[in-house]
Amino acid sequence: MASAAEQLASNLNFSTFAKAEDLKKRLWFTLGALLVYRLGTHIPLPGINPDAVANAFQSQAGGILGVFNMFAGGAVERMAIFALGIMPYISASIIVQLMTSVIPSLEQLKKEGEQGRKIINQYTRYGTVFLGTLQAYGIAVGLESGNGLVLDPGWFFRISTVISLLGGTMFLMWLGEQITSRGIGNGISLIIFAGIVAALPGALAGTLELGRTGALSTPLILGVLVMVVAIIALIVFVERAQRRLLIQYPKRQVGNRMFQGDTSHLPLKLNTAGVIPAIFASSLLLLPATLAGFTDTSTLPSWATTIIASLGHGKPIYIALYAALIAFFAFFYTAIVFNPKDTADNLKKHGGFIPGIRPGERTAEYIDYVLTRITLLGAIYLIVVCVFPEILIAEAGVPFYLGGTSLLIVVSVTLDTVAQIQGHLIAQQYEGLIKRSKLRGGKRGGR
C-alpha cells in the first residue's frame, strides 16, 4: 500500500490539481480566511491614539512585546482588534490538556471519542474567554497608564477595549476552526503562520537597512542569512525524519489457499510534537509579561519588577525557562497524541508483531522505549532551533522574525499544508482509478 501511494505521489501533476475541484475550493476558502485575518490586524481599537501607541511600541519593540507582536501578526504595534491574537486560546488549551492528565473525569471524557472531545473543546473555549478577558482588561489599564495613549480614559474605554480584544480573539478561534474543517491545514497554526510570513519581507529589509547604516556589520548579516538557511535545512530534514519499526503479520489460510505473511512499518516521527512545544512555551512565557511594556513599573513592588526584568527577552532566566518548557512540552504533547499501549493492542488485534518482541505489554514497552529516545532527540533539536537564534537576536539586535521559533513555525506549517494538499491529490487519483476500473468492468459485462 505504501509503495502504491508513493507511486501515485510521484505521478501528481498540474492536470491532477486542475481536476481536484474540492481541493481548489478548500484552498480559496483558506486564502480568503487568512485575508480576513490580515485585514483585522489593521483595524485599531476605538479610543486610542495610534501615533502615540506606535511610538510607545517602538521603545519596547526589542523586548517581550516584540515577540508577542510576532505571534499577533503585527497587531500589537498597531493595537488592533486582533492584538491578543490566538494566544489566549493556546494558553487555555495548555491548561485544559494539563488538567486532563490530572483530573480523572476529564481523562475519561478524552477516551469517550467525539462527544468527549466536544466537551473538552467547550471547556477550552470557556478558558479562552476567561484568559482573554483578564488580558484585555490588563491591556486597557496599561494603555490608560501610558502618556497620551488613550484619548478619553475611563470605564467606557476599558469595557469597549475588553469587548473588542476578546471579540477579536474569539473570532480568530472560530476562524481557525473553520479553516481546519473547510480549508487546508491546521487553522490555528496557519493564522500564526500568516502573521509571521507577512512580516518577513519587512524584517529582511530592516536587517539590510541596519547593515547600510552601520548598526550591523556585513559579516554579521551574512552570518545571519547563512544561519537562516542552515536552520531551514535542519527543520526540513528533521521534520521528515522517521524511525520505522518493522511489523510482521503471520501466514494465514483462507479456504484452501495459504497467504504469505506480510510486512509493514510503524513510522515514528523524530519530532512527534511538531511546532506545538515552541508555541506553547512562548505563550506561557508571554502570559505574565504581556503587559510589562505598557505598565508603569514604579508602581509595582520590587519583587514584581525583578521578575519582569529577569523574564526580559534574551535574559539567562528567560532562555533557561524557554528551553525547559520546550523540552517539557515535547514529551508532554507526544504522550498525548501517541499512546504506545493502544498501538500495541491494535497490532495484536490484527495479528501484527515486532520481530523478537512478544505481542501485548512487551510491545507497548518497546514502542515507549523507542519513542522516548527519539523524543529526546526531537526535544534537543527544538531547543537548538529555537533557543540559539534567540541568543543571537538578543545580542545582535536582529529582528524577531528571523529567529528560530518563527522559522520553525513557517517551515513546519508549510510542510504540513503541502502534505495535506498531496493527500487530497492522491485521494483524487484513487477516485479516478476506481471510476475507470468500474467503467471498464461495466463494458466487459455488457459485452
Residue 447 above 60 pLDDT? no
pTM score, whole prediction: 0.76
Please, which pLDDT band fits residue 2 given cuts at 50, 70 and 90? very low
Highest mean pLDDT among 262-271, 277-286, 311-320: 262-271
d(CA 78, CA 56): 11
Q: CA torsion 118→120→124→126, rounded to 10°?
A: 80
String of DSSP letters for 117-140: HHHHHHHHHHHHHHHHHHHHHHHH
d(CA 220, CA 228): 12
Nearest to 76 by CA among 90, 62, 57, 59: 57
Residue 317 above 60 pLDDT? yes
Sequence-distant (6+) residues with CB within 8 A of 324 are none
Taking a C-beta distance cutoff of 8 angstroms, is the pair 188, 33 a contact?
A: no
pLDDT digits (tens, 9 = 90+) for 114-163: 777 788 888 899 999 998 898 888 888 877 777 777 888 888 988 998 99
What pLDDT was estimated at residue 220? 78
> Across residues 337-353, what is the average pLDDT?
83
C-alpha cell at 306: 525583578
> Across residues 43-60, what is the average pLDDT?
77
d(CA 143, CA 304): 19
Range name among 102-116, 273-287, 327-341, 397-411 with the lowest pLDDT average: 397-411
Q: At what angle do helices 114-145 and 155-182 cross, to 10 degrees?
A: 150
Please, which pLDDT band fits residue 438 given cuts at 50, 70 and 90? low
> Across residues 287-304, what is the average pLDDT?
60
Instruction: For residue 88, give the amino acid letter.
Output: P
Q: ∠ CA(414), CA(422), CA(184), 5° rounding?
A: 55
What pLDDT was estimated at residue 64? 54
Q: Which residue has the cell 505521478?
A: 11
> Across residues 4-23, what is the average pLDDT?
60
Range name among 20-29, 120-129, 320-329, 429-438 with the lowest pLDDT average: 429-438
What percent of the chain is predicted at pLDDT more than 90? 13
Q: How far apart are the first and last CA of the chain?
A: 32
Residue 236 above 50 pLDDT? yes
What is the overall mean pLDDT for the chain? 78
d(CA 71, CA 290): 12
102 C-beta neighbours (distance < 10 Å), count: 8
d(CA 290, CA 50): 19
What pLDDT was estimated at residue 68? 63
Burial of 235: CB neighbours in 10 Å, binned 0-12, 13-18, 19+? buried
295/23: higher pLDDT: 23
Nearest to 275 by CA among 377, 173, 413, 393: 413
Residue 377 above 70 pLDDT? yes
pLDDT digits (tens, 9 = 90+) for 252-270: 655 666 556 677 888 888 8
> Across residues 75-99, what is the average pLDDT?
82
pLDDT digits (tens, 9 = 90+) for 176-222: 999 988 988 888 888 888 888 887 777 777 777 877 887 777 887 78
Burial of 408: CB neighbours in 10 Å, binned 0-12, 13-18, 19+? buried
Please, which pLDDT band fits residue 33 given cuts at 50, 70 and 90? very high
- Altogether, the residues listed in the chain come to a count of 447
Residue 430 above 60 pLDDT? yes
Sequence-distant (6+) residues with CB within 8 A of 395 are 314
What pLDDT was estimated at residue 164? 92
Please, which pLDDT band fits residue 65 given cuts at 50, 70 and 90? low
Q: Which fold has domain 2-446?
A: Preprotein translocase SecY subunit (1.10.3370)
d(CA 408, CA 415): 11
Taking a C-beta distance cutoff of 8 angstroms, is the pair 51, 61 a contact?
A: no
